[in-house]
Structure formats: C-alpha cells, structure tokens
Amino acid sequence: MTGATQDEMLLELRALVPEASNCVRILDQTELPWRVRERRLDSLDAVVEAIRTLAVRGAPLIGAAAAFGCALALSRAARADDGVLAQALATLAATRPTAVNLQWALARMAARLRPLPPSARAEAAWAEAQAILDEDAASCAAIGRHGLALLLECGGSGHDRRPLQIMTHCNAGWLATAAYGTALAPVYAAHARGVDMHVWVSETRPRNQGLLTAWELARAGVAHTLVADSAAGWLLATGQVDIVLVGADRIATNGDVANKIGTYLKALAAGDRGVPFCVAAPIATIDWACTHGDAIPIEARDGDELRWQSSAEGPVRVAGADTAVANPAFDITPARLVTAIISERGIARAARLAADLAAWRPGDGPARGGHGPGG
Ligand code: MRU
C-alpha cells in the first residue's frame, strides 16, 4: 500500500477494523491480489453484501463481521426493539451456510442483547462485536504458538536437511480472521523464529483464495510456490511435502472437518503417503450440536464463479454461459484422515480426537450448545 498513512497500515495486517461505532473498514478481498482497496461498511445491508460476495471471507472473519453487522443495524434503528434485532440476526444468518463461526457469533450477540432494554442495545452490541474480534485475534495468536510446536515436530525429518515443506489450501491467513490467521498463524510464528521452510500454496479454484495466501506470504517474506490444485497429489506422492496444514469452516464433535473444496483430496493423498494432515481453527469453529460431518451444510455457490475468472485485467470468461456447472464450496474430510486439530487450547491428536475436542467444550454460557441465533 504505497504512501499509506499509519492508520491505513493497520489494514495491512487486519482485514477488518472497527471505527467509532458507526462503521467498519475492510480490505475488499474480491479485489486482491490485484488491487489493495479499502471499503467502509456502515449498514447491515453493506455487511450482508460484503459477506455474500466474499469481500469479507474466512470463517472467523465472517463471524466477527456479522457481529458488527448486527451492531450497525441496532445503531441505525430508531428503536432497537426485538423485531429489529431478530430481523438483523436472521438476515445475517442467511448469508452463508457452512462456516459455523457465523452462527456462533450471532448466537452470542443474541444472548448478550436480548435481555437488554432497546436503549442499551446498540452500545452493548458494538462492545460485544469488538470482544468477538479481539478474542479471535488472541485465539489465532495462541493457535500460532501451539501450531509452531507441531511444525517443529514435523521439521528436519531428513530429506537432505531441506527446508520444512508445508502445503496449505485456500486462505486461512490474517485476511480470513481478526489477525494472524489459523493455518498461517503457525507459519508466521515459525518464520519469526527463523525456521527454514517453504509453503506449497494451492490455487483453490474457483475463487482462487490461494492467490490471497500467496499475497500474504509474499508480504511476510515467507518462501512459497503456487501450484494448481491438481498438483497436490503428485507433490505428496513424491515426498515433497512434510505436513499439510489447513483451516476449517466447521468441525463436528467426532473430528470430521468441513473446509474449502479440494481439502478432502489433499487429506486422501496425505493419508496414503503418511504425511501429517493437520487442521487449525479456533474453538468457535467446532459445532457442538453436530456429531458427524454428514450433518454439515455445504454451500452451493453460483455457477458463474466457474464460468468467469478474476484477473488483473478484470473478469475473464472461461466457460460458456450455457455450460452446466456445479460449484460446491466446501467438502468434508473424515476424522480418520485428520492427524491433529490445533486450537487456542492446544493440539487434539488423531488417536483421541473426539475426546480431546470434548475437553475444549466451553462451559455454560452463550458459546455452548447449538449455534443458531436462538442459542
Ligand atoms: O473464502 P471462503 O470464506 O469461502 O472460505 C473459507 C476459508 O477461508 C477456508 O475454508 C479456510 O481454510 C477456513 S477459514 C480460516
């Protein structure tokens, strides 16, 4: 961001910055990596549109953005009564179905705000949204610390003392969270520690979130190489990967993981070749009401995401308007293929994945139980 002011610099490491209780600033992720463009969202509708179009994306960031969307709806309303609150929660809940952090954040907002009189809700909503954002940043920092230990376990394992070879998918960096990222937080922690490493970044068709990851890693000075999604199996089969590290959009209590489409194929190839397949996510990504991956709703996105590709010069048509396409946005990796799940509480290991996850279950309070806005 050439010539950025100090304030603008903040957005280089924060994908969403709240501003004086009447707007949030975001980096428009539909413009990256081609253009670094900031947008101001100052209404419920603006936040809803940003989440739907992926201007704001990534499970933890979607949750925080939705919380601010709720706060904006209440602060703009003449009277923040139950109807306004319910309408805001329902509208935000309908934006995206798979990332449970969205439902989790809205349930938390509902639990905090419903008991309050309308006159107290707008201020309390802003404070709660800010707390969600701050807590996510702290969780991601802790994920970085725990994940670093895991990376060090996998590093220096032979292979001619080459750099540690990490493979990731989609973007689970600071752009997808309040700060640091989930899967990329350990990478950044390792980089800060001087660990010699290299990251394989898969393109992540159709929206190419891998380009966001490459952009983040380039800015941080982390060695990386972009590969086509279909190259992952070959890289794993030929011993060129020491660990696969991805984020998650929803985790069932048995350890099944929903993440960006294409994750499952990497887990299969990693499992076949004995390469650790690890998932990094805050505890807010665990759906305590979901015991099995089959119950996780998979978002079906617009077919035009395949028919068109973004480019430095703008959208480019790559398939005809009459080409039939299917565009599932996520897949489920079964727990049997997961080596470890890293959260802010530590590392859940394959042999006792479900038991370790259960130990992280929050106590009574708004974060417990189902994730619907109804709590
Ligand atoms: O771009 P999205 O919101 O559709 O994708 C979500 C993700 O960013 C990834 O699945 C990610 O790995 C988990 S969220 C840190």
Query: Looking at the domain assignment, is residue 365 inside a domain?
Result: no
Give the CATH number of the domain where residue 344 resides.
3.40.50.10470
Q: Residue 250: CB within 6 Å of ligand 1? A: no
Read off the pLDDT of each residue in 34-60 and give the average, rounded to a whole number: 97
Q: How far is the CA of 209 from the centre of ligand 1 (A)?
A: 8
Read off the pLDDT of each residue in 72-88 and give the average, rounded to a whole number: 97
Between CA 96 and CA 296 the distance in angstroms is 12
Give the CATH number of the domain where residue 125 resides.
1.20.120.420
Q: Is 249 a catalytic residue?
A: yes
Cβ atoms of 300 and 206 closer than 8 Å? no
Stated pTM of the model: 0.93
Claim to verify: residue 170 and residue 296 sit in the same structural domain: yes
Ligand 1 pocket mutation, candidates 260, 278, 299, 302, criterion most atoms within 8 A of CB: 260
Cβ atoms of 296 and 98 closer than 8 Å? yes
Q: Name the domain count of the chain.
A: 2
Q: Residue 133: CB within 6 Å of ligand 1? A: no
Claim to verify: residue 219 and residue 98 sit in the same structural domain: no
User: For the purposes of burial, counting CB atoms within 10 Å of the CB of 151, is it exposed (0-12), middle (13-18) or buried (19 or more)?
Assistant: buried
Look over the chain and give the mean of its residue pLDDT values, rounded to a whole number: 93
pLDDT digits (tens, 9 = 90+) for 298-322: 999 999 999 999 999 999 999 999 9
Q: How far is CA 134 from CA 69, 103, 371, in A?
A: 16, 18, 20
Tokens of 361: 């279950």
Going by C-alpha positions, the residue among 25, 10, 3, 35 that lies closest to residue 215 is 35
Q: How would residue 368 be classed by pLDDT, with cut points 50, 70 and 90?
A: very low
Between CA 336 and CA 249 the distance in angstroms is 18
Cβ atoms of 190 and 231 closer than 8 Å? no
pLDDT digits (tens, 9 = 90+) for 179-215: 999 999 999 999 999 999 999 999 999 999 999 999 9
Query: Looking at the domain assignment, is residue 92 inside a domain?
Result: yes
Cβ atoms of 34 and 312 closer than 8 Å? yes
Residue 157 has pLDDT above 70, yes or no: no
Atom of ligand 1 minimally distant from the CA of 182: 15
Q: At which residue do the structure tokens 């309070």 appear?
A: 365
Claim to verify: residue 176 and residue 245 sit in the same structural domain: yes
Q: Residue 51: CB within 6 Å of ligand 1? A: no
Query: Looking at the domain assignment, is residue 216 inside a domain?
Result: yes
User: What was the pLDDT predicted at 3?
Assistant: 39
Residue of 242, 249, 287, 331 with catalytic role: 249
How big is the chain by its Cα radius of gyration, in Å?
A: 20
Between CA 138 and CA 60 the distance in angstroms is 12
Claim to verify: residue 85 and residue 159 sit in the same structural domain: no
Residue 191's domain comprises 144-359
Between CA 206 and CA 303 the distance in angstroms is 10
